[in-house]
Each structure stands twice: as C-alpha cells, then as structure tokens.
Chains A and B, each alone.
Chain A
Amino acid sequence: MELYHGWSKWAIAATFAGAGLFATAKLPARTIRKVQNGSKTATAPAAKPTPTYVGTDTCKTCHADVFKNNFENTPHYKTLLEKNASMQGCEGCHGPGSLHVASGGQTPPPYDFTKMTAQAISQRCMVCHQSRHENMQFLTSVHYRNGVACTDCHSPHHSTDMVTLLIKPQPQLCYGCHKEIEPLFKMPFHHRVDEGMVRCTDCHNPHGSFAAAALEPGGEDKQLRTGMAGNAICVQCHVDKAGPFVFNHEPVVTDGCLDCHNPHGSPNPHLLKVANVNQLCLQCHTVSSFSGAPGTPSFHNQATQFQACTLCHTQIHGSNFSPYFFK
C-alpha cells in the first residue's frame, strides 16, 4: 500500500472533485447546438421550432448528386440500414433536417460542419464511432486536445479511400502536420514506411491510446499502441525481442526500446541513437552509485579490440542461454 502514499491523496481528491462537480452541478440544459458550436450565441432560441427528421429520400430531392457521387458508395451508406432515424443517412451526421427543408435550404442543417469547431465536429463523429475499439480514446487524445478534427484527416464525401475515408494516403497524410518526422524516413536506416511496408498507424493510434504515459516521459504525445500482451508495440513485429527471457537486459523491458533506438530513422545502423555502439553501452555500463548496470571488466580493453560490444554480446535484447547475452 505504500505505493499509494503521497500521490494517492491528490488522485482521490481530484476524483472526488470531479465526481462532486458531476453530482452537484445543476447545469442548465444545453442544446446540441451549444455543444457543437462552443458559443452561447449559437444556442437555439426557445421560440425556434424543434427540427425533426425527414429522411434521406427528402435530402435527395435537392442533393441527388451528393448522394449519388459522394455518399452512396461510401461506408456511411450502411447507416441507412439503421433503425433509429437519428443515425440514418444524411441526418445521421447533419442532424434532423426539417427546418433546413422548410426554409428551402436557407437554414443550415443542425450540424453544419463547415461552421463547427474542431472539437464539436469530433464529438459529432464520436456519437457513432467512439464505440469502435480504435476510436475509444479519441476524446482524451492529443489530437483532440489540439483541435485536430476528424475531418482534418477524413473526408466523408470526397475521399478516394472507400475504407477509411482518408483525405490522403499514409504516410503523406501524417507528414502533412508532422514535417519533422518525414526526413527520418529518408535516412539510410529507417523503418520502411515510405516503401509501404509499415504504416504510421501500425505503431501509433491517431485516435489516442491508453499506453502512453506508461512507456516513457513524453510518451503520451506519441499515442503509441501496445502489444497484444500489454507490452511495447515494437515486439509486435520484432517478435524475437519479445521474450520473456530468463536473462533480461533490464532497460529493454523497463524503459523501452527508445533508450537505445530512434524508431523512425537514423543515420546510425540499427537506428541506434549514437554512431559507436560502445558509447551507447558505456553510457550505462559505467559503475554508478544508484545504477545496477555493471561496469565493464578490465579485459574489455578499448585500446585494442572489441570495436563493438555487440560483436560478442550478440543477444543484447535478452537471452535464454547466457547472462552476458552471448548466445
């Protein structure tokens, strides 16, 4: 129980504060419009009639071209098979359209995505999509917090990708914002992302993930996935590094792969963080008062041979045969 000491008070207080807010606040009823637009001015006047659902066939009378060219062959077509009118077709996303119809199109539909905030857009999409495992964390994700809307990456009506509705294929879509990452995949040593072998979404979940903070400081921003067993995503492909091993190279398991590797690309072989592998090893294997990493023995004479520690310590990620990772 000592593990809870100190921080537990803070966490419990925060939880109760949140619960208290939830339980006691008698918040005024908010209209859908208020949430979606994030401003008081958008609140529907009380006198305004409540819109009702008119059905997609009604929408088609004016938007037949949109239905034919930009809806019918998209995955969203299946919403027409829903029983609940609020989840069907055009109105499944744009909301009940009776007022829009009655005004001859002058009144925008309740959910006019061109005028909504990024958060409101995402909240609207999440009404249906959040129950998917892939999207469950989106509302707590870094993308959501930073005003990246679903429609910044997906185009429900104009995508040529009829599976994910992305506006561009990976990785170009991701490079669109993450320009600092693109050159790393042009390095001599890199994961084969540009070549199409690996996708950004194989390691990252752009819709957010739980993993995050557990892996490393700053890890939450990366929205990393986890392996099937809850371990690092890297071993999902690098299965021979997954273990469990009798002889673990401890930081590989406790601190993660990024202690030694730059994952996207690197000028250094095996995506190492430094050019000379001995430097990488000695950074930890110098005896220190707080560290358990053993120092290098005397016969590791750097003045003679052993240019690379891994010439002998070949199984450096872990071994079932040698405590020194020889085999």
Chain B
Amino acid sequence: MNSQEVSVSIHKQERWRAARYLVIAFAFGGWFTGTALAQTAVKNRASKTNSSETADPPASSSADLSSSGDPSAAPTGTNIGNYNVQGSLNMGWRYSNITGSQANYDTFVNLQQGPRLLGFSLNAYSLNHKGAYFDTMSVNGFGFGGDPVDVVRLNMTKNRWYDFAATYRRYKYFWGYNLLANPLNPSSSNPAIPVTTAAHLMDLSHRMSDFQLKLLPQSAVHLRLGYTHSREMGPSYTTTGAAVAPINEPGATALLLQNFQTTEDNYDIGIDFAFLPRTTLSYDQFVQHYKEDLSATDGNLNFQLPDGTPVDMGLVFYPGTPCGSPVSNGSTNPPTANPVCQGNLTYDRGGRPRGTIPTERFGFQSTYFRNLNMTGAISYSSGDQVVNDLYDSWTGVDTRINALGTNDTAKSKATRIIVNGDWNAIYDVTAKFRIMDSFNYNVFRIPGIYNFGVINYFGTGSGATLTAAENPILFNPTDCPAPYTATTCPQHSSGASADLANGYRSTYLGQDLRSNTFMLAYDFTRHVGAHIGYRYTKRKITDFAALNYTAETYDPGSTTTGAAAAYRGDCALSGTLPAGSTFPVYYPGTTTQRGICTVQTNGSVVFAGVDSSSDTSHNLSADINGNSALFGLWIRPMSKFRTSFDLELFSADQSFARITPRLLRHYQINSTYIPVGWADITGAIDIVDSSNDVTEVQNKEHNRSYGLSTTFMPAGRFSFDLSYNYNDVYTQAFDCFAASGATSGLPAGFSPVPTCPLVDPDGNASPVTIGALAAYQSKTNFASADMMVKPVKQVTFTLGYSGSFVRGTTTFFNYLSGLTANFTSALTPWGPLRFNYQMPYVTMNWNLYRGLSYMASWNYYGYNSRGNNNPTGLAPLGTQDFNGNNMTMSAQYSF
C-alpha cells in the first residue's frame, strides 16, 4: 500500500466517521427540539390548570426577525416552549485545485475538495431560568465532511445544579514533508534512487474528547467530574537502521510501514469544600490510562532476489552502500538485487505499552486573613508504563556481521513518581503596595528496567558467499563438530554478534527542582505601577543511563578460525587462547573486572557480566543554581493606552545540556493604543537572548520578535487592518563531528581540531574529526492586511493577505568528499531556510433573506522556495513548491 492508497483509505474512513458525528449532532438537535416542544405542552397544560402561573412568558413560535423584513438584521431566535432558541447551519462545497507538491500542501494546509458542513450552532436559554434539563445550552461546530479540523463544543448549565462542558476535536494529521529525514542519495550512487516521499510520512487521525461536569457549582461543596479521551491512529512510515540487535548499528536502513495507534483515557473526580470563610479546599483524584498498539513491517520491498523473493535494499544508496554493486540485473521488474549485498527480506516489530498513572492533588485558596491571599497545591503521582510483549524480528543479510536473521524479545517497565508542591501568596501591605511570594517544588524520579533476549542467526556462507537465499541457522554440535571448521558450521566473523544473549538494563533519571520567587509591587498612581523581584532556582539532576548485565553465548564456527571464532565480542582476545575454562574481562584501560568468560565443552564461550555497550561514563549528578532578577512596569496614562514592560535577567552556575542557557535576558513590551473609537494600534516586542558561552560550547542564541498592527473601522461599512512582524532567530554552538576526507579546503571556521578527540566514545576508528562553530539564522518578515467593505447593506466583501518571507542560513555538515569543500552549498537542500509563503483571500457574504446568506470565498496558498532544493550531485528530489486555490461556496441559514 503506497502513501496515496493509505491516504484514500483513511479519507474514506473519515467520511464515514464524519457522517456518524453529523447524525449524532442532528439527533441531539432533534432531541432538544422534541424536549422543548414537550415541555411546551406540559407548561400549556399546567397553565390551564393553574391560572396564577404568570411568570413564564407566553410561548411563541415566531422569531422577532420574521417581522423585520430586513435581510441584514441579526436573528434573535425563536421561542420554543420555555426556551429561546437560535441556530445556524452553513453548508457548501469547496473546490480545490493544487499544483506542485501535493505532499507539502497536505502537510501545511490539507484543505481538500468536496461538500462540507462548514459550521453550525444551536443556542438556547430558558426564558424564566427554570428549564427542565438546562437553563442555557450552546453547541457549535465546524469542519465536518472532510476538513482536517473538526470541532464540536457543547456547554450546558442549570443554575445551582450543574455546569457541563464537552468538546470533541478531530485532527487529520498528514505529514509528507520529505526534506527532514531524507538520506539525500547522490546521483553518483548505483542505482541513483532519490527518496521523493517522506520517509516518516504520517496520515493520522487524532481525536480528542473532553467532558467536564461540575455539580452543585454554587453550593459550599462542589463535585467535579472529568473525562478526556485521546486517540491517535492511522498508517505511517518510519525507518530503522537497527536491523541487528543488540548491536543496533545502522544497516540497510529500512522503510517501515507502521500502524500507529495510541489511546489515552483520563479520569478526574474532584471535590471542593467552602466551609471556612473565604477559603476553598479541594481534592482531586486523577487517573490516566495509556495504551499503545504499535506494529511495523518492512514496507519497501522494491527489489527481488534472483529467485523472485522480494527484498528491501534500504533507503540509503551511496557509492559502496548497501554494497559495491547492489543491482545485478536492472532490466527485471522489479530490479534484481545482488544477493550478497546487504538487504532485508522481512522485518517485523511490535509491542503494546500500557500505562496507568494515578495522581492525587490537594489544593486550597484562601483570603481568610485580611489582605493576605494564598493559594497552594500539593500532588503526588506514581505510575508505570509496562511493555510485556516487545518483539523485533529480522531476516536478510548483514554483511558486517555475517548475520542472516535475528529475533529480539523484551519486557520493560518504567515507573515515574512526581511530587509537586506549590504555594503562592500576595499580601496587600497598603492599597498600593503588595508583597508576593511563590514557591514551587517539583521532584520526579524515573527508574526503569529492560529485560531482553536475543537470538542471532548466521549462515554457512561468509563474506562474498553469504547470500540472502540461505537459510539462517544456529550452532549445532552435530552439524558443526570440533574443530568447528566444517562448511556446515554457521560462519562467525570476528565482528559477529553473540549467538544468544539475554540480560537486563537498568536506568534511572531524577530531578529535584525548587524555586522561590519574591516580588514587590507598587502602584505609584492609578496610572503607573511597577514590580521588582528575585527568583532562586535549584535543580539537582541524577542520571544513570546505562548498566547492562548480560549473559552472552558466543558459538564457534568458521572455516578459517574454527574454535577461535567463539572468542569475540565481550570475550574477544588480544593474544593467545587462555589456559583453563574461565578468564576475566576488564573495563578498557583498567584492571577493574566487568565480567567473566567461561569456555563450554561444546566450544562455546559464555560471557557473564556488564557488557561492553554499558556506558557508565555518562552517568552524572548535576547541581544547578539559577538566579533571576525580575522587573516590570505598567503604564495606563489613560483608558485608551496601555503598555507593559517585563524584564528577566537569569544566570546559572551550570547547565545540564550544552544549549541550556547559563545566561538569559528576556525583554517583553506590549502596548495598545486606541486614539479614537474606530482605530487602535498594537505593538509588541519580545526579545530572548541566551547563552552558554563557555569555551568548549560557545552557545549563543536569540529569538527577537517585533510586531505592529493597526485596525481602522471608521464606519460600519468599512474596516482595514494592517500588520507587520519581524522575527530574528539565531543559534550557534561549537560542534564536533566525524567527516571523512576533508583535511584541506575547509571554509572559515572549520578545521580538524584537537579539541574534538572525544568524538568517538566507543573506540571505533575515526575518520577526520571536524570542529566548527555551527550557526543557524532565520529572519522572517511577515505582513498581513485585511479590508472589509460593505457596498450595500446586504453584502460584505473581505479582502485579505498574509505572507511570510523567510531568509536563513545554516552550517551544512553533509558534503561529499572530493566534490566540494564549500559547506554553504553542500549537497543539502535549503528546504526551510528560504521560502515565501503567501495566503491571499477574498470572501463575500450576501444576506439574501431573513437569515439566509450566501457565502463565497477564494483562498490561495502559495509556497515558493527561494533556495536550492536540488543541488547538483543529488539524485533529483522534486519540487517543494505548491500553489493551492480553494474556492468555497456555501449557504448559511440562521434563525
């Protein structure tokens, strides 16, 4: 199933679901109308038997609008029984014409052609505030029939008895942008196959439902009930280079078709007590239940073996990858792969994570003490995510370790405990002077355990004789007797994985965060006020990332090395075979023992201990102390002008990640001015400058935004909005990376440097290591304008435009040795660095008759790249640009 088929399939499903929800919505409307009419009948009967009941106004079925005769007048609703009811329904058709990259259009916009329920609403309120089931009710929604966003919101209240709110949201999440996870195969590869669709394509549907019910909202004891449901599902693609476990080195990077399915249900029951004067105590019990059903299978079997067996040669085609001559016969359909080349015959993966997370929270709010306002909450959460059935199965050829298959099964359990405590207080010393204090406490810890078992299968061939056509085999003393050099033995190279492995890995991550903010606020006059404060934050992070205890069996078997083939991996020898049946294994460069190897009678060597993939060097415990100075000023010299300024100056003595700032400055200004009733001017500035400017990092970042907008509405028949924004984003850090072949001709700032020797923690031989002060900068100019014109009372035109113009630069790491030394024009598409994204539109609304309107709109979406997205030397990727024209015509009926 290709991506288009996947898309069509899910679109059909969505239509059916949309139809169901429409039926439900209309059924609800029908129920309501029926209820109201029934209530009318009851009240009419009651009025006949009780002539003293005069509080209820007489029921009327005529709308006020009906007598006005003015098509542009706003409907005032219809009285049905004890309710005034207003409603609207907007239905129409969207015509869509897209040229260029459909995948990018769907990723950015995803408005498609077809009939649509563009909007509906139904509002009702009880005329005497004594409704049978509710006093007010409002339901509205939009987007049904195929739009990417469908929303329905419902609110119902009955005074004193309940408040109820419900929301249903559905989002069709399509992701087809293919420049993010793309191997960028060069044109020099054989064959030169570009990846023209997103390797991580997603066509998901995300539904979220929220229900909140508050009982007895005006009494001293309130009860709150809540339920939310989130479900995200659909087909998607992902990739894996982890064809061989547990080494997990990149192999033939496979494109996997993944059935994405996650569900979360959240339950909340809470109670509020208001027995004490001016004090509310509350208790909440939350329960989150999460389940995920993921399965993935190789979705890219686009080649065949000579015997016709489908085979996946991976996404990455580069000279030498997946092998020197990947295709033995390109004239067949599909092309015939070289069977000794790296490839995947099957790949399946699955697992069903389940999690239950209960959380208890106690909170309070009090103004019990005069002039002192306090709020606080403390919560405790402890939950697990458990996976009992992880599996990962692969067959194919991995020429690096001579493997033909692997079966990996595992169980995992992670527990998270979170304790939160918060306290806020504000004390009015005088009418103008306030003292505020806020304390935050957040502690979590996440211990995890992972149990695994791995079986690796090998073949009787080796190197050029190992083919995917072979049957994967395990070591068997009958077929492979001593001295283990028979051709029937599984052939183990020196880099082959253990034949069998099982063990467990434990992890731990914790953080203790405490923060206190103290602030003084003073209102100089009723027009000017300021605040000044200080915040202290302390973080302690404890991270034990990897400790891997394993039992590994290394079987013998090799036509050249025989019994010695078993001495590999964690039991690899640097010299001669040891005397005796056991020998110790040490951490590299130390005399600290990490395990022991035992030679078995059948020639196998068994390792027990901490395996070499355990990387305890990255375990750490970090203490970070942060200090912030806070300052703010607000000015309201008149009711028509308001401005505020906020400043935070932050410093820390340590950082956890390299790009976590040690210094930060945040300035924020927001101003609004309304010189006359028909015009306003709004401006905003937001500047964040941060850095971790220690010698080995040199991290500097800024995100600076400036915005200005004006609105003019001199008459009811004309309005005009104009807006401009400028956004400047910059980040830099000194990065070290491996790059082969580049020792000369490097651009300024790049050089093989001695400050990057630690690039290779696993001890593999390094290509040339490069250090570079890598930078990214993006500057965006954004402009928008809207104009509304009412040439006649019944007709409204709106013309609008918005455009984002992005210009950026970055350091490209990906270049081909020998082809170019110019990093700024390396073989990487410019993608999001430079583009224009423009969205003009025109709408017309014509009030035809008594709440009946005709609407038409034209929306254009234009994405035009202004960088080089097909650099010479890359297999062509196709255009990223698109032009989308949408014409929507609809009729709306309101009553």
Contacts and interface: CB of A to CB of B under 8 A. Distances in A.
B668 interface: yes
A311 to B, nearest CB: 5
Given A25-B429, A77-B129, A269-B177, A295 B736 contact: yes
Contacts of A210: 377, 420, 422, 424, 438, 440
A186 B861 CA distance: 11
Given A244-B415, A246-B412, A267-B778, A188 B108 contact: yes
Interface stretch (B492-500, B511-519, B594-602): B511-519
Nearest to B507: A246
A316 B737 CA distance: 19
Given A11-B516, A197-B169, A323-B505, A38 B431 contact: yes
B553 interface: no
Interface string B731-751: 101111111111000000000
B149 A192 contact: yes
Contacts of B670: 146, 177-178
Contact of B157 (A75, A237, A253, A254): A75
A246 to B, nearest CB: 3
A18 B425 contact: yes
B738 A302 contact: yes
Contact of A82 (B218, B383, B440): B218
B731 A274 contact: yes
Contacts of B635: 147
B684 A178 contact: yes
Contacts of B814: 278, 302-303, 305-307
Interface residues of A, number: 140
Nearest to A268: B832
A145 B377 CA distance: 22
B653 to A, nearest CB: 11
Interface string B805-830: 01010111111110000000000100
A22 B546 CA distance: 52
A259 to B, nearest CB: 6
B863 A188 contact: yes
A78 B760 contact: no
Contacts of A214: 440, 442, 513, 515
A213 B652 CA distance: 14
A254 B505 CA distance: 21
A276 B828 contact: yes
A65 to B, nearest CB: 15
Contacts of B148: 192, 195
B659 A283 contact: yes
Given A213-B535, A240-B262, A299-B764, A182 B688 contact: no
A248 B446 contact: yes
Nearest to B74: A160
B353 to A, nearest CB: 6
Contact of A322 (B248, B355, B812, B837): B248
Do most interface residues of chain A lie in helix, strand or loop, or is the interface mixed? loop
B198 to A, nearest CB: 9
Given A162-B136, A246-B507, A282 B764 contact: no
A314 B250 CA distance: 12
B33 interface: no
B424 A140 contact: yes
A146 B738 contact: no
Nearest to A291: B658
Interface in B500-545: 505, 507, 509, 511-519, 521, 523, 525-526, 529, 531, 535-541, 543, 545
Determine chain B's interface SS by DSSP, over half rule: strand
Interface in A169-212: 176-184, 186-189, 192, 195-197, 210-212
B437 A292 contact: no
A73 B760 contact: no
Contact of B160 (A81, A307, A323): A81
Nearest to B863: A188
Contacts of B707: 179-180, 182-183
Given A18-B425, A274-B776, A297-B764, A259 B659 contact: yes
B465 interface: no
Contacts of A101: none
A139 B160 contact: no
Contacts of A279: 735, 774, 776, 810-811, 813
Contacts of A82: 218
Contacts of A114: 639
Interface stretch (A49-57, A89-97, A104-112, A129-137): A129-137
Contacts of A139: 373, 426
A188 B615 contact: no
Given A195-B149, A284-B658, A301-B739, A244 B414 contact: yes
A320 B353 contact: yes
A119, A228, A239, A303 — most chain B CB neighbours (10 Å): A303
B240 A140 contact: no
A63 interface: no
Contact of B438 (A130, A176, A183, A213): A213
A103 interface: no
Nearest to A269: B180
A302 B812 CA distance: 9
Nearest to A41: B526
Contact of A196 (B151, B418, B708): B151
Contacts of B318: 304-305
A314 B238 contact: yes
Contacts of B636: 117-118, 147
B759 A295 contact: yes
Contact of B735 (A11, A34, A275, A286): A286
B225 interface: no
Contacts of A245: 385, 414, 446, 448
A146 B644 contact: yes
B682 interface: yes
Contact of B446 (A243, A291, A323): A243
Interface in A216-261: 217-218, 220-221, 226, 228-231, 237, 239-240, 242-248, 250-251, 253-255, 259
22 contacts: A11-B439, A14-B518, A34-B431, A81-B160, A117-B523, A139-B426, A177-B682, A197-B169, A217-B652, A230-B442, A250-B541, A267-B780, A283-B735, A300-B737, A300-B738, A304-B318, A304-B816, A312-B241, A321-B387, A321-B450, A323-B546, A326-B242
Interface of A: 3, 6-7, 10-11, 14-15, 18, 21-22, 25, 27, 30, 34-35, 37-39, 73, 75, 77-78, 81-82, 114, 117-119, 130-131, 133, 136-137, 139-140, 142, 145-148, 152, 162-163, 176-184, 186-189, 192, 195-197, 210-214, 217-218, 220-221, 226, 228-231, 237, 239-240, 242-248, 250-251, 253-255, 259, 262, 266-270, 273-279, 282-284, 286-308, 310-312, 314, 320-324, 326-327
Given A179-B725, A303-B814, A327-B349, 8 more contacts: A242-B290, A274-B810, A284-B658, A296-B737, A297-B764, A320-B353, A323-B505, A327-B392
